[in-house]
């Protein structure tokens, strides 16, 4: 659809007002919020990521694209999340220590809320101690750790080790671009999921099973 390509293009240019206008227009045209997210916003961000890797764009351009992405996601949020649904369980979520990437973590949070889970969001650069303290305080069943850097994903093992050291009945779910099932296995985390929708689905299963 042409409008989704336009959203993708303007997101790459970091044109936040235009992205907001087009996202609103796409919704009025009756396009599904999930398609706007995946084929418009996420596809634009993925192109930005490729260009970043190839040194064709740099941190400032990526930041304005991320800002446009967040503005678009904020408009879609009510369409992707059913508000007022009774909580089916509580999870704590955050991006691990040393890591400031939060777009994927925010999507996971949104999808989980959409499945009726209460999500305590600790933000970015979260230490293992902060994950565990918040999980205990909120009586959470799952700690959800996101990491986007190969240099920070090792922090997930510190979270797992702390949960085990305290013998807590809390599962640790991990995800993010560099994370894999074999990495999960190597650090002894309970669950790896590759994307936000699967993360929400699998988290819900932990509470209803
Ligand atoms: Co950064 N960055 N970045 N960056 N950045 C990457 C990750 C990188 C792959 C770019 C590249 O080189 N191609 C690269 C990492 C290389 C590596 O480690 N091997 C990189 C780098 C190097 C850096 C800096 C070091 C750059 C520098 O300063 N020289 C720096 C580090 C800062 C820090 O964190 N300490 C940095 C900074 C930044 C910005 C601040 C500019 C910005 C972040 C803005 C923000 O998040 N608010 C940024 C961005 C935007 C990116 C890219 C372009 C896009 C990331 C993104 O948001 N993707 C990224 C390149 C790329 O990924 N292609 C890149 C969209 C998002 C929806 O995907 O987060 O993967 P993702 O989430 C997915 C799944 O992974 C999954 O669900 C989501 C969707 O379904 N998922 C989970 C995520 N968390 C999950 C948790 C789960 C389950 C699933 O369970 C708990």
Ligand 1 pocket test: pick from 47, 71, 101 the residue with the most ligand atoms within 8 Å of its Cβ.
101
In percent, the amount of the chain with pLDDT more than 90 equals: 77
CATH superfamily of 90-208: Cobalamin-binding domain (3.40.50.280)
Give helix then strand counts, H and E, for the chain: 10, 5
Q: CA angle 166-169-175, nearest 5°?
A: 95
Tokens 């930005």 locate to 48
For the chain, give every domain's residue range.
Answer: 2-83, 90-208
Which residue's alpha carbon is nearest to atom 51 within ligand 1?
Answer: 49
How confident is the model over 109-137, as pLDDT tens digits? 988 887 788 999 999 999 999 999 999 99
- For ligand 1, what atom is nearest to the CA of residue 46? 63
| pLDDT tops 70 at residue 82 | no
Q: Which residue has the higher pLDDT, 32 or 209?
A: 32
CA of 29 relative to ligand 1 center, distance in Å: 31
**Closest Cα to atom 19, ligand 1: which residue?**
150
For residue 114, what pLDDT is reported? 73
Nearest to residue 124, comparing CAs of 145, 154, 107, 150? 145
Give the pair of three-digit tokens for residue 32.
Answer: 């599904």
- pLDDT for residue 197: 82
Question: Is the C-beta atom of 155 inside 6 A of ligand 1?
Answer: no
Ligand 1 neighbour 193 (Cβ under 6 A): yes
Which range is least confidently modeled, 5-9, 69-73, 149-153?
A: 69-73
pLDDT at 111: 82
Tell me what pLDDT residue 139 has: 96
pLDDT at position 208:
83
Overall size of the chain counted in residues: 209
Using the structure block, give the residue that is written with the tokens 């336009």. 6
Please tell me if the CB atom of residue 202 comes closer than 6 angstroms to any atom of ligand 1: no
Rounded Cα distance between 34 and 161, Å, is 36
Question: Which of the listed residues 8, 47, 48, 49 should we mutate to test ligand 1's pocket, taking the one with most ligand atoms within 8 A of CB?
Answer: 49
Q: List, for residues 132-189, the tens digit of each pLDDT value.
A: 999 999 999 999 999 999 999 999 999 999 999 999 999 999 999 999 999 999 999 9
2-83 and 90-208 have identical folds: no
Percentage above 70 pLDDT, the chain? 97
- What is the whole-number distance in angstroms between the Cα of residue 89 and the centre of ligand 1? 28
39 lines ligand 1 (CB under 6 A): no
Residue 205 has pLDDT above 70, yes or no: yes
pLDDT of residue 140: 97
Using alpha carbons, list the distances in angstroms from residue 173 to 68, 160, 209. Answer: 28, 9, 16
Indicate the fold that domain 2-83 takes in CATH: 1.10.1240
How much is the pTM?
A: 0.89
Q: What integer best gives the mean pLDDT of the chain?
A: 93
């Amino acid at each position: 659809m042409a409008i989704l390509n336009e959203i993708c293009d303007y997101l790459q240019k970091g044109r936040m007002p235009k992205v907001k206008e087009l996202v609103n227009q796409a919704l009025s045209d009756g396009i599904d919020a999930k398609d706007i997210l995946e084929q418009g916003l996420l596809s634009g961000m993925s192109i930005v990521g490729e260009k970043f890797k190839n040194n064709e764009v740099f941190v400032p351009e990526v930041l304005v694209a991320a800002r446009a992405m967040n503005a678009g996601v904020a408009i879609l949020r009510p369409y992707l999340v059913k508000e007022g649904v009774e909580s089916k369980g509580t999870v704590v979520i955050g991006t691990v220590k040393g890591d400031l990437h939060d777009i994927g973590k925010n999507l996971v949070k949104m999808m989980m809320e959409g499945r009726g889970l209460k999500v305590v969001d600790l933000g970015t650069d979260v230490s293992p101690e902060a994950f565990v303290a918040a999980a205990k305080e909120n009586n959470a069943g799952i700690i959800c750790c996101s990491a986007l850097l190969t240099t920070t994903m090792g922090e997930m093992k510190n979270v797992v080790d702390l949960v085990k050291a305290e013998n807590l009945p809390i599962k640790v779910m991990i995800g993010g671009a560099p994370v894999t099932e074999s990495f999960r296995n190597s650090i002894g985390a309970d669950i790896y999921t590759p994307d936000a929708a699967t993360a929400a689905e699998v988290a819900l299963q932990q509470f209803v099973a």
